[in-house]
Amino acid sequence: MVLQSGTKRILKLTPDGLEQILDVLHKIGFETIGPTLGNDAIVYETIGSIDDLPQGWTDKQEPAAYRIIKRNDQAYFGFNAAPQSWKRFLYPPDRTLFRIRRKGKGLEFMEQEENTAELALIGVRPCELEAITIQERVFTSSEQRDDSYLAVRKKLFIIAVNCTSSGGNCFCASMNTGPHAKENFDLALTEVVNANEHFFIVEIGSETGLSVIHDVESAEPTEDEVETAAGLVRQAESQIRKLDLDTTPKLLSANLEHPEWDEVSKRCLACGNCTMVCPTCFCSTVEDTTDLSGKLAERRRRWDSCFTLDFAKVAGGNFRTSPRSRYRQWLTHKLSSWVDQFGKSGCVGCGRCITWCPVGIDITAEVQKITGT
Amino acid sequence: MSETFVDTGTETGTAMVPSFATIRKITWETDDTFTLIIDAPQVNGLPFSFKPGQFNMVYAFGTGESAISISSDPFKKSVIAHTIHRVGTVTSHLSRLKRGDMIGIRGPFGSAWPLDKAAGKDVCIVTGGIGIAPLRPTIYSLLRKRSEYGRIIILYGARSPLDLLYRVELEEWSKMPDVEVIVAVDRGDSSWKGHIGVVTNLFSYIKLDPRASIAMVCGPEVMMKFTIEELQRRGFAQSQIHVSLERNMKCGIGLCGHCQLGPKFICKDGPVFALPDVQYLLERKEL
Amino acid sequence: MQTQDLTESLHQHPFLRNMDQELINTLTSCASNVVFQEGNYLFHESEDARTFYLIRSGRVALEAGGSERGQIRIQTLGPGEVLGWSWLIAPYRWHFDAYAVEQVHAFAIDATCLRTKSETDWHFGYEMLRRFSEVLERRLEATRLQLLDIYGTVKGDKGEKF
C-alpha cells in the first residue's frame, strides 16, 4: 500500500480491525491511552483492548450537569467530551522539575528519571486534537521551550475519532475545530453503527499511521459507506451554542469595563474548575520543598489557575484581588488575548467549562451578554 | 515517531533548571535591602552575559525562587549583583546566606532598556524605591560609553533617607560632568538636607528638551503612572518613555501564565516596555 | 535692583511663564527681592501671612511642629516653585514653619498689595488665582501620592508577606 504525499487514503475497518491496531501499537512499544468507564464518567486511561472502551455508553451534558447513560446501540465512541482532557498526558498536573542535594557548602543535582513514555492516544476528538495543537504552540513556539512537553509530544501517536453526535454544551462547529478532524492525526476514525452493521471509516493522516494500519485487516469502503459516515459527522454540526470566532476577540478587549463582569462575578465561585478541565489552559505554579533533614530539596510544577487569589500576587501587593478581575482574566485570555499571543483563539468549543462549572456559567452566554449591549 | 508534530525549533537545554552560583559577598544597603554578589555561573556551558534591565530567577535552596533584576555592571562578566528587598520567605532566606553559600540562578530573562535608542540623546532616568536596581546596569553602561549619550539625569525617590540605595555611588555619579542626580524622600528629618516630596516634584528643578531626550522609568506602578503623566505634560511623546513592569513570575520564560497583563507576558515581552505597548493596559484596574 | 530688572527677572520665574507684560508690571509693584540665610525661618506657623514667595534658588523645608516627634519636615520647595498660599484665604495665617535648608533667594510678593490690586483689577486677580489653582492642584496630587507611602511594604490581607 502506497500513500502518496498530499492524498488521504480511506479504509474501512471492523471493530476487530481496531483491536488489531491496538495490538500493533503495543508491539511497537506504545502505551495506549483511551476512554473507559470510571467513577461514573468517561475517563482517559491506559487501555489494553477495545473491550476497555465504554461501549454502549453515552453522556448527557448540560450547564453544571454530567451523567453517563446507556445507549440503544453498541457504539464504542458514542459519547462526548470526557471530564478530563488529554492535557494531563502531555502536560502532567504535577511534575518534578529537579531535585537538589546539599553537599558541604555546595549543591548538586540528583539524577532524574526521564520521561520515556511513548503514548498512543486512542479516541481524540477533533476539538481535543485542536487543543493539543494549541498547547503545542504555547509550550514550543517561543524561544524558551518546555522540554518535557516536547519529549512526550514528539513521540505521540494519535487516533482521532470524528464526532457523530454533539453534546449539550458543544460548540466546536462555530469554533471551526470540529466535528470533523482535518489534520494533525495519524489515523482518524468515524464510527458507523446501526441495526445491520458496525464499522469504522479510517482516514490515514501520516506515514506512521499508514505503517501501523498496513498489516491490519481492512477493506475498501464503498462510496455509500463513506457518505454514510460523512453524513453522521455533518449531523453533529448542529449545535445550540456558538461563538463568533471573528468578532469575539475585539469585542472582549473593547469591553473590559462592561457591567457583565460584575454580574458574572456574583455567580462565579472562583473555584477554577473551568481552568482545570479546559484542554488548553496551561498556567502552572511551582512548589519547593525539602525533606526533614533539610538536605534534599525538590521543585515541582503543578497546574495552577488564574482564579486563585494569589495568582497575581507580588511582594508589594496583589494585582487581581476581585473575582471580577479573575473571571475577566480567564475569559479575555481564552477568547481574546490568546489570539494576540498565539495567533489563534484559546477556545476549541468542547464545552467542558460549561459542564463542570458548579453554577453553570456558560461562556458562550457571557459573550452573548457582552455582544447584546 | 509521529509526524503529527513537526519540530522546527532547536533544543534550548533546561530553562527550568537553575545553574548554581557561589555567593561572594552580601552588602546591606538599608535595614531591609541587601545586595547579593555572586560569581557568575556558566549557563548551558556559556559565560553568563546580560543586558541592562534583564532579570534572573534567583533560587534559595528548598525555599523557592524570586524574580530579581540584575543590578551589576554588564561589562563586568565575573560577578552578578542582585539588590533584593527582604519581603517574603525567599528573599528572607536569601538574606540569611553567607559568603561561600550557593544559590541557583535561571536567566537572564526579559527585555532590556533601549540603550541604542538613547544614543545621542539626554537620558532621563526616573526611579522609585527598589526600582533603581534594574536601572543601575543602564547607568553603568551609559557612563562607560559616555560620549555616545547626552546628559544623564537621575531622579530618584525613596521613602526616607535611610531607605536610599547606592548612596556612595549616587554621590560619585552626581560629581560627574553632565550627570545630574536629584533625590527626593517622602519623609525627611532635620538631618536631611535634600528634597522632601514625591519624585515627580523633581522635574521642577531640571531642564529637559523632550525632543532630544529619552525617559526610563522604574518604580512602584503608582509612581510610574504619575511620572508618565508628568513626562507627557512636559512634552515627552509616548514612544520616548520606557517603563519596567513587575508581575508575579514563576517560570520567567512565558510558560506559567502568571505574569500576564492583557496580551503581554511581562517576563518575556517585558519587563521593559516602550510605553505605547502597555499604556492602554496600565490604565485598566486589575487587568 | 531696579524695577526694570525686577520685572525682567520675575518674567523668568516659571510661575509667571507667559504672563502678560501689563500684569507682570502690576505684580512688580508688589514684589521685592529677599535673601534668607541657611538655618533661618522664612515664617512660622500661625503668624500673619503677609507675603508669598517665588523661590529663585536654594531650598525651603515646610515643617509641622508641636508634635511629640518634634519638628516634622513635610515637603521641600526649590527653585521655580511657589511658597505659601495662606495669604489667599482668610484668616491669612501660616499653617507651617518655613525653614531655609540652604541659602534662599526669592521674590517676596506683598499679599495686602496683591489682594488690593486683585480687588480692583479682576483680570489680574483672575490670572493670579488661575495660576495658584494649578499649583494647588499639583501640590494636592503630590501630597496624595506621598500619602500612599508607595515604597513601604504592604501588609494585611491583600498583600501579606509571603
Q: What is the pLDDT of residues C43-94, one digit of tens each?
A: 999 999 999 999 999 999 999 876 676 778 889 999 999 999 888 888 999 9
Q: Which residue, B51, B30, B37, B164, is CA-closest to B99?
A: B37
Q: What is the C-alpha separation between B18 and B174, in angstroms, rounded?
A: 38
| Confidence at residue C162, expressed as pLDDT on a 0 to 100 scale | 32
Please tell me if residue C2 touches chain A, with a CB cutoff of 8 Å.
no
Other beta carbons less than 10 A from residue A109's beta carbon: 14
Co-location of A218 and A115 in the same domain: yes
Q: What is the C-alpha separation between A32 and A25, in angstroms, rounded?
A: 7
Q: Which residue, B61, C129, C8, is CA-closest to A108?
A: B61
Cβ(C111)–Cβ(C50) under 8 Å?
yes
Question: H-helix or E-strand containing A262?
Answer: helix A259-267
Question: H-helix or E-strand containing A329?
Answer: helix A323-332
Task: Specify if C154 maps to a domain.
Answer: no
Burial annotation C141-155 (CB, 10 A radius, 16+ → b, else e): ebeebbeeebbebbe
The residues, ordered by sequence, that sit 6+ positions from B171 with a Cβ below 8 Å of its Cβ are none
Question: H-helix or E-strand containing B20?
Answer: strand B19-28
Kindly determine whether residue A311 and residue B285, on different chains, have CB atoms separated by under 8 Å. no
Residue of A nearest to C156 (CA): A317
Cis peptide before B271, with omega less than 30 degrees from 0?
A: yes
Task: Specify if C90 maps to a domain.
Answer: yes
The residues, ordered by sequence, that sit 6+ positions from B177 with a Cβ below 8 Å of its Cβ are none
The residues, ordered by sequence, that sit 6+ positions from C106 with a Cβ below 8 Å of its Cβ are C33, C34, C35, C36, C53, C54, C55, C56, C58, C83
| Domain range summary for chain B, segments of one domain joined by + | 19-109, 115-244
| Confidence at residue A143, expressed as pLDDT on a 0 to 100 scale | 78
Task: Specify if A241 maps to a domain.
Answer: no
What's the one-letter identity of residue A285?
A: T
ipTM (interface predicted TM): 0.90
Q: In terms of C-beta density within 10 A (0-12 exposed, 13-18 middle, 19 or more buried), how is residue B255 classed?
A: buried
Co-location of A121 and A179 in the same domain: yes
Cβ(B97)–Cβ(B190) under 8 Å?
no
| Confidence at residue A142, expressed as pLDDT on a 0 to 100 scale | 78
Q: What is the C-alpha separation between C132 and C138, in angstroms, rounded?
A: 10
Kindly determine whether residue A316 and residue B220, on different chains, have CB atoms separated by under 8 Å. yes
Q: Which residue, A126, A190, A200, A189, is CA-closest to A159?
A: A189
Sheet strands side by side (includes C41-43): C41-43, C97-100, C60-67, C70-77
Kindly determine whether residue B196 and residue C73, on different chains, have CB atoms separated by under 8 Å. yes
Cβ(A225)–Cβ(A190) under 8 Å?
no
In DSSP notation, C68-94 reads TTEEEEEEEE-TT-EE--GGGSTT-B-
| Confidence at residue B14, expressed as pLDDT on a 0 to 100 scale | 63
Number of H helices, E strands in chain C: 4, 8
Task: Specify if A5 maps to a domain.
Answer: no
Find where cell 560632568 sits: B177
Torsion, Cα B140 B66 B216 B231, to 10 degrees, reads -150
Q: Which residue, A21, A218, A33, A231, is CA-closest to A123?
A: A33
The residues, ordered by sequence, that sit 6+ positions from B139 with a Cβ below 8 Å of its Cβ are B125, B152, B154, B173
Kindly determine whether residue B226 and residue C145, on different chains, have CB atoms separated by under 8 Å. yes
Rounded to two decimals, what is the model's pTM?
A: 0.90
Kindly determine whether residue A315 and residue C158, on different chains, have CB atoms separated by under 8 Å. no
Task: Specify if A168 maps to a domain.
Answer: yes
Judged against a pLDDT cut of 90, whether residue A112 lies above it is answered with no
Secondary structure percentages of chain B, helix, strand, coil, to 5? 30, 30, 40
Co-location of A31 and A84 in the same domain: yes
Cβ(A69)–Cβ(A56) under 8 Å?
no
Q: Which of A125-139, A245-259, B186-200, B252-266 has the lowest mean pLDDT?
A: B186-200
Of the pLDDT bands very low, low, confident and very high (cuts 50, 70, 90), residue A30 is: very high
Distances, alpha carbon A104 to alpha carbons A230, A289, B13, C21, in Å = 67, 19, 27, 79
Q: What is the C-alpha separation between B125 and B217, in angstroms, rounded?
A: 6
Q: What is the C-alpha separation between B64 and B81, in angstroms, rounded?
A: 19
Task: Specify if C155 maps to a domain.
Answer: no
Q: Which residue, A132, A175, A163, is CA-closest to A349?
A: A175
Torsion, Cα A128 A134 A136 A139, to 10 degrees, reads -130
Task: Specify if A119 maps to a domain.
Answer: yes
Judged against a pLDDT cut of 50, whether residue A3 lies above it is answered with no
Q: What is the C-alpha separation between B138 and B72, in angstroms, rounded?
A: 9
Co-location of A355 and A272 in the same domain: yes
Q: Where are the beta strands (DSSP E) in chain A?
A: 10-13, 31-38, 41-46, 57-62, 65-70, 94-103, 106-109, 119-124, 157-161, 187-193, 198-204, 284-290, 296-303, 313-314, 317-318
- How many structural domains is chain A composed of? 2
In DSSP notation, B136-196 reads HHHHHHHHHTGGGS--EEEEEEESSGGG-SSHHHHHHHHTSTTEEEEEEESSB-TT--SEE
**Dihedral sign (CA A176, A182, A188, A189):** positive
Q: What is the C-alpha separation between A38 and A54, in angstroms, rounded?
A: 9
Task: Specify if C91 maps to a domain.
Answer: yes
- The mean pLDDT value for C117-136 works out to 92
Kindly determine whether residue B61 and residue A106, on different chains, have CB atoms separated by under 8 Å. no
Q: What is the C-alpha separation between A117 and A153, in angstroms, rounded?
A: 10
Torsion, Cα C49 C54 C57 C58, to 10 degrees, reads 30
Q: What is the C-alpha separation between B184 and B178, in angstroms, rounded?
A: 20
Judged against a pLDDT cut of 70, whether residue A300 lies above it is answered with yes
Phi first, then psi: give them for residue A222, nearest 5 degrees: -80, 165
Domain extent at residue A167 = 10-93+108-235
Residue C72: strand pairing partners? C64
Please list every residue in chain A whose beta carbon sits closer than 8 Å to the beta carbon of residue B64.
Answer: 286, 288, 299
Which of C12, C139, C145, C147 has the most B C-beta neighbours within 10 Å, making it the best mutation to test the interface with B?
C145
Co-location of A207 and A255 in the same domain: no
Judged against a pLDDT cut of 50, whether residue A2 lies above it is answered with no
Find where cell 458574572 sits: A264
Number of H helices, E strands in chain B: 7, 17
Task: Specify if C153 maps to a domain.
Answer: no
Q: What is the C-alpha separation between A229 and A200, in angstroms, rounded?
A: 8
The Cα of A141 is separated from the nearest Cα of chain B by a number of Å equal to 8
Interface residue ranges in chain C relative to chain B, Cβ cutoff 8 Å: 14, 59, 61, 70-71, 73-76, 78-81, 101-102, 141-142, 145-146, 148-153, 161-162
Kindly determine whether residue B195 and residue C78, on different chains, have CB atoms separated by under 8 Å. yes
Residue of B nearest to C76 (CA): B196
Burial annotation A114-138 (CB, 10 A radius, 16+ → b, else e): eeeebbbbbbbbbbbbbbbbbbbbb
Other beta carbons less than 10 A from residue B212's beta carbon: 12
The Cα of C103 is separated from the nearest Cα of chain B by a number of Å equal to 12
Co-location of A115 and A155 in the same domain: yes
| Confidence at residue A8, expressed as pLDDT on a 0 to 100 scale | 58
The Cα of B92 is separated from the nearest Cα of chain C by a number of Å equal to 10
Q: Which residue, A301, A309, A272, is CA-closest to A93?
A: A301
Cβ(A118)–Cβ(B1) under 8 Å?
yes
CATH code for the domain defined by B19-109:
2.40.30.10
Co-location of A46 and A156 in the same domain: yes
Co-location of A337 and A218 in the same domain: no
3-state secondary structure (DSSP) of residue A99? strand
Tens of pLDDT, residue by residue, chain B (287 residues) = 456 666 555 444 468 889 999 999 999 999 999 999 999 998 878 899 999 999 999 999 999 999 999 999 999 999 999 999 998 899 999 999 999 999 999 999 999 999 999 999 999 999 999 999 999 999 999 999 999 999 999 999 999 999 999 999 999 999 999 999 999 999 887 788 899 999 999 999 999 999 999 999 999 999 999 999 999 999 999 999 999 999 999 999 999 999 999 999 999 999 999 999 999 999 888 89
List alpha helices for chain C, DSSP H: 3-11, 21-28, 111-120, 122-147
- How many structural domains is chain C composed of? 1
Phi first, then psi: give them for residue C63, nearest 5 degrees: -125, 140
Q: What percent of chain A is modeled with pLDDT above 70? A: 97
Q: What value does the mean pLDDT of chain A take? A: 92
CATH code for the domain defined by B115-244:
3.40.50.80
Q: What is the C-alpha separation between A19 and A216, in angstroms, rounded?
A: 9
Task: Specify if C44 maps to a domain.
Answer: yes
Please list every residue in chain A whose beta carbon sits closer than 8 Å to the beta carbon of residue C153.
Answer: 315-316
Domain extent at residue C48 = 3-147
Cis peptide before A179, with omega less than 30 degrees from 0?
A: yes
Other beta carbons less than 10 A from residue B17's beta carbon: 16
Judged against a pLDDT cut of 70, whether residue C1 lies above it is answered with no
Residue of A nearest to C161 (CA): A315
Q: What is the C-alpha separation between B260 and B266, in angstroms, rounded?
A: 6
Cβ(A58)–Cβ(A328) under 8 Å?
no
